[in-house]
């Protein structure tokens, strides 16, 4: 019985030796490149304090690397330092000079120990020019001995995901493949830039938030991708390793934030899917936290939080797209296909980061391939959305025209067959016409009125301003344009919420309207900015007195939904007393004066002076 424990101990030692007994990878004269993952054994240095000599003494404790069948060694998110060992043997006619590529540019620290005793260092925390070979990935020269086996040791540590794709290359083949890889990435980022610029021009032209959120989403995606592929460290920020270390997580967190805003705007989830809208808003806030986390917390926390949030958001966004498609929203079908492609890629990429999927070519480049297809499909989705809205408008106009034609036909039939009811029908027709005129008047009022405050909107303001300038030019009179901006309105909105913010804007509108004359025009330009056109002035002093009256009147305390609040405004004054001054130039002058008031400390007015 005493021999059994000894036998089990010997058996366990033999099993452990079998687990680490990995044959040296043999290189022949025909070998141009070779994946090293199958020949790697690893050792975990949990304290991160061991030297090469220390780990060489523990060779019996090395074990095979976990690869899930892929071509990369993946340790997921780990705070340990990992030692990798691979034995290489070359045939007599094989090359002796090779290049070892570690194809994951976001690793923080790599220590390379070559067969001839070489020691080299690299990592994205070091300046790019310190790398032994200037390449977007980490590349080390390997010189094998003329005979026997050469051993390569690597010490790798990183706060992000520890994925280690290892491949040995002949130098000529490596540079040929690298040129191809750079070309493919150039095409990808060129396409990304072209789509972003195209949608930026659309936003400048149409001023629809959905295009701006798309552009910012593409920019965030580009920052994350350019960091993940190593191009940022090589070309954009080679001397800023601190930013280069955080750009990966910050870029993808920004892409998630603006991607959530894009989904919310494109599908109008606040109106059509209020429950999912709350989830999207929450995830957008979480992405914003992920962007700021590297500034106050360990990078690993930001990376893990970004990956988990991305996987969750992929499910929510696809579900929102599916519901939008079922509801018949314009562009929702193409949107669903585009977003599904991207978010499947993001989900695969995030699961690979957490070592839940094997690292293969597909899983490693899933996000990049998905984003390329997604950008193209989303452009079609935006176009489909515009066409869908146009079709709905045309259909509504067609229905209105058909209804009008049916009404005329009914009136003709009534006139021909029911002469005795002419008077009654005429009265009905007059009533109908009156309603139509009233509806037309209401529609016209809505087209020229700001829905929140009841003031004139930007369209009506432009017409009134042009009319006032022409009248002043003919009569040699004087007018003034006042631009009024509510000071620190964003802080009120952020602190008390949009409901309080809207009430503040209504109170401000009431006080502006009460401060001016009936002949003057008060308009809301948008957000917290208002404009006032003063006509029939006797001089610039009248405009200044009015501006002072407005500043003083708005300053009075108010109660908004039972809550006491005090606000102030900054007013810019620009006058016109003749000449060829255009409305746009007058608006620009008033805007310049308003910013001068803000620069002077707010709660005041300034008059434009050339």
CATH of the domain at 513: 3.30.70.270
Distance from C-alpha of 529 to C-alpha of 450, rounded to nearest angstrom: 12
Spatial contact of 166 and 70, defined as CB atoms under 8 Å apart? no
Domain count of the chain? Answer: 3
Hey, is 562 helix, strand or coil?
coil
Q: Please determine, for residue 448, whether its predicted confidence score (pLDDT) is greater than 50.
A: yes
Contact 432, 438 (CB under 8 A): no
Q: Is there a contact between 310 and 325 (Cβ–Cβ < 8 Å)?
A: no
**pLDDT band at 496; cut points 50, 70, 90:** confident
Predicted pLDDT at 359: 60
Residues 200 and 344 in one domain: yes
Is 341 part of any domain? yes
Q: Domain check: are 145 and 117 in the same one?
A: yes
Asked which of 118, 139, 169 is the last residue of a domain, the reply is 169
Cα separation, 231 vs 252, whole angstroms: 15
Buried b (16+ CB within 10 A) or exposed e, 132-159: ebebbbbbbebebeeeeebebbbbbbbb
Say yes or no: 200 and 139 in one domain: no
* Same domain membership, residue 154 and residue 258: no
pLDDT-based confidence at residue 171 (cuts at 50, 70, 90): very high
Compute the mean pLDDT over every residue in the chain, rounded to the nearest whole number.
84
What pLDDT digit, counting tens, does each position of 366-386 carry?
777 777 777 777 767 776 666
Question: Measured between alpha carbons, how far is 379 from 338 in angstroms, rounded to an integer?
Answer: 9
Q: Provide the pLDDT for residue 179.
A: 94
Residues near 1 by Cβ (< 8 Å), separated by ≥ 6? Answer: none
Residue 14 lies in a domain: no
The full length of the chain comes to: 610
Give the DSSP per-residue string, 236-273.
Answer: I-TT-HHHHHHHHHHHHHHHHHHHHHHHHHHHTHHHH-
| Residue pLDDT, tens place only, 177-191 | 999 989 988 988 888
d(CA 98, CA 144): 8
Claim to verify: residue 243 and residue 376 sit in the same structural domain: yes
Q: Are 48 and 157 in contact (CB under 8 A)?
A: yes
Interval 377-416: pLDDT, tens:
776 777 666 666 666 677 777 777 778 888 887 777 777 7
Query: Highest mean pLDDT range out of 95-104, 325-334, 409-418, 439-448?
Result: 95-104
In this prediction, residue 364 carries a pLDDT of: 63
Q: Is the pLDDT of residue 231 over 50?
A: yes
DSSP calls for 82-98: EEEEEEEEE-TTS-SEE
Residue 141's CATH number: 2.60.40.2380
How far is Cα 329 from Cα 321, in angstroms, rounded to an integer?
9
Query: Does residue 607 have a pLDDT over 80?
Result: yes
Range of the domain at 515: 458-607
Closest CA to 331 of 371, 392, 387: 387
* pLDDT the model gives residue 203: 87
250-259, 295-304, 525-534, 535-544, range with the lowest pLDDT:
295-304
Q: Are 76 and 353 in contact (CB under 8 A)?
A: yes
Say if CB 230 and CB 184 are below 8 A apart.
no
Residue 42 has pLDDT above 90, yes or no: yes
Regarding whether 208 and 164 lie in a shared domain, the answer is: no
CB 495 within 8 A of CB 487: no
Question: Distance between CA atoms of 85 and 36, rounded to whole angstroms?
Answer: 10
Nearest to 216 by CA among 264, 270, 260, 279: 260
Contact 225, 371 (CB under 8 A): yes
Do 125 and 188 reside in the same domain of the chain?
no
pLDDT tens string 124-157: 999 999 999 999 999 999 999 988 889 999 999 9
Count of helix runs (H) and strand runs (E) in the chain: 18, 19
The pLDDT value recorded for residue 257 is 94
Is there a single domain that holds both residue 465 and residue 603? yes
State the pLDDT at residue 407. 82
Both tokens of residue 334? 């193409």
pLDDT digit string (tens) for 232-290? 999 999 999 889 888 988 998 999 999 899 889 888 899 989 989 999 999 999 999 99
Reduce the DSSP state of residue 561 to 3 states and report it: coil
Residue 260 and residue 337 in one domain: yes
Collect all residues with Cβ–Cβ distance below 8 Å to 21 and sequence separation of at least 6. Answer: none
Number of Cβ within a 10 Å radius of residue 57:
10
What is the rounded CA–CA span in Å between residue 558 and residue 567? 8
Phi-psi bin for 255: left (phi > 0), alpha (psi -120 to 50), beta? Answer: alpha
Residue 112 falls inside a structural domain: yes
Rounded distance, CA 243 to CA 105, Å? 14
Is 61 within a domain? Answer: yes
pLDDT band at 9 (very low <50, low <70, confident <90, very high): very low
551 occurs within a structural domain: yes
528 domain-assigned: yes
- From 520, 522, 495, 482, select the one nearest 506 (Cα to Cα): 522
For residues 431-441, average pLDDT: 70
Could you tell me where the beta strands, DSSP code E, fall in 331-462? none
Strand 109-113 relative to strand 41-45, pairing = unpaired
Distance CA 264, CA 270 (A): 7
Quick check: is 362 in a domain?
yes
Q: Are 52 and 153 in contact (CB under 8 A)?
A: yes
pLDDT in tens, 203-228: 898 888 888 988 898 899 899 889 98
* Structure tokens given for 91: 């045939």
Residue 253 is predicted with a pLDDT of: 93
Higher-pLDDT residue of 340, 510: 510
CB crowding 383-409: b at 16 or more within 10 Å, else e? ebbeeeeeeeeeeeeeeeeeeeeeeee
Spot the catalytic one: 91, 528, 542, 591: 528
Place of tokens 């001839």: 116
Catalytic residue list contains 603: no
CB of 186 within 8 A of CB of 213? no
Biggest CA pair distance of the chain: 124
Answer yes or no: do 532 and 565 share one domain: yes
Task: Please compute the mean of the pLDDT values over residues 194-203 and round it to a whole number.
Answer: 85
pLDDT band at 512 (very low <50, low <70, confident <90, very high): very high
d(CA 529, CA 523): 9
Three-class secondary structure assignment of 148-208: CEEEEEEEEECCCEEEEEEEEECHHHHHHHHHHHHHHHHHHHHHHHHHHHHHHHHHHHHCC
- Cα separations in angstroms, 322 against 210, 214, 388: 19, 20, 17
- 604, with CB counted inside 10 A (0-12, 13-18, 19+), is middle
Burial 258-281 (b: 16+ CB within 10 A, else e): bbbbbbbbbbebeeebeebbebbe
Same domain, 359 and 258: yes
* DSSP secondary structure letter of residue 449: B
Q: What is residue 13's predicted lDDT score, i.e. its pLDDT? A: 39
Q: Do 342 and 219 have their domain in common?
A: yes
pLDDT-based confidence at residue 440 (cuts at 50, 70, 90):
low
Q: Which two tokens stand for residue 168?
A: 């040995």
Q: Is residue 47 part of a domain?
A: yes
């Amino acid at each position: 019985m005493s021999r059994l424990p000894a036998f089990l101990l010997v058996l366990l030692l033999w099993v452990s030796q079998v687990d680490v007994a990995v044959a040296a990878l043999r290189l022949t004269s025909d070998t141009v490149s070779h994946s090293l993952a199958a020949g790697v054994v690893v050792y975990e240095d949990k304290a991160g304090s061991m030297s090469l000599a220390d780990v060489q003494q523990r060779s019996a404790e090395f074990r095979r690397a976990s690869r899930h069948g892929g071509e990369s060694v993946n340790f997921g998110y780990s705070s340990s330092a990992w030692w990798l060992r691979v034995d290489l043997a070359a045939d007599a006619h094989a090359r002796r000079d090779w290049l070892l590529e570690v194809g994951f540019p976001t690793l923080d620290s790599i220590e390379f120990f070559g067969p001839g005793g070489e020691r080299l260092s690299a990592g994205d925390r070091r300046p790019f020019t310190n790398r032994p070979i200037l390449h977007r990935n980490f590349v080390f020269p390997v010189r094998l001995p003329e005979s026997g086996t050469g051993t390569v040791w690597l010490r790798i540590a990183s706060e992000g995901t520890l994925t280690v794709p290892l491949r040995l290359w002949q130098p000529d083949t490596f540079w040929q493949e690298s040129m191809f890889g750079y070309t493919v990435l150039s095409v990808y980022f060129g396409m990304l830039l072209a789509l972003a610029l195209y949608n930026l021009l659309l936003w400048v032209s149409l001023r629809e938030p959905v295009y701006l959120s798309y552009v910012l989403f593409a920019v965030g995606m580009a920052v994350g991708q350019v960091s993940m592929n190593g191009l940022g460290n090589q070309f954009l920020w080679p001397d800023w390793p601190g930013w280069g270390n955080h750009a990966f997580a910050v870029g993808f967190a920004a892409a998630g934030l603006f991607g959530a805003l894009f989904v919310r705007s494109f599908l109008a989830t606040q109106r059509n899917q209020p429950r999912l809208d709350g989830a999207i808003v929450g995830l957008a806030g979480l992405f914003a936290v992920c962007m700021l986390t590297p500034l106050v917390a360990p990078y690993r926390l930001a990376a893990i939080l970004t990956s988990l949030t991305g996987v969750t958001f992929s499910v929510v966004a696809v579900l929102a797209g599916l519901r939008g498609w079922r509801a018949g929203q314009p562009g929702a079908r193409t949107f669903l296909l585009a977003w599904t492609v991207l978010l499947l890629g993001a989900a695969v990429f995030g699961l690979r980061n957490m070592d839940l999927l094997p690292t293969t070519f597909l899983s490693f480049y899933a996000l990049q391939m998905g984003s390329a297809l997604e950008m193209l499909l989303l452009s079609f989705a935006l176009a489909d959305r515009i066409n869908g809205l146009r079709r709905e408008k045309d259909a509504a106009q067609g229905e209105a025209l058909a209804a009008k034609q049916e009404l005329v036909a009914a009136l003709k039939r009534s006139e021909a067959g029911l002469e005795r009811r002419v008077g009654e029908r005429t009265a009905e027709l007059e009533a109908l016409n009156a309603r139509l005129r009233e509806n037309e008047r209401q529609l016209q009022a809505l087209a020229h009125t700001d829905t929140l405050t009841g003031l004139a909107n930007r369209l009506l303001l432009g017409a009134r301003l042009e009319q006032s300038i022409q009248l002043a030019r003919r009569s040699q009179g004087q007018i003034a344009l006042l631009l009024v901006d509510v000071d620190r309105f964003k802080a009120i909105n952020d602190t008390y919420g949009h409901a309080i913010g809207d009430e503040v804007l209504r109170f401000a509108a009431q006080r502006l309207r009460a401060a001016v004359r009936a002949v003057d025009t008060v308009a809301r330009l948008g957000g917290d900015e208002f404009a006032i056109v003063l006509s029939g002035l006797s001089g610039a002093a009248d405009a200044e007195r009015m501006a002072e009256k407005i500043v003083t009147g708005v300053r009075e305390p108010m109660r908004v939904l039972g809550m006491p609040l005090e606000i102030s405004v900054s007013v810019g004054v620009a006058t016109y007393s003749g000449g060829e001054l255009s409305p746009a130039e007058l608006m620009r002058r008033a805007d310049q004066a308003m910013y001068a008031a803000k620069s002077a400390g707010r709660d005041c007015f300034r008059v434009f002076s050339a």
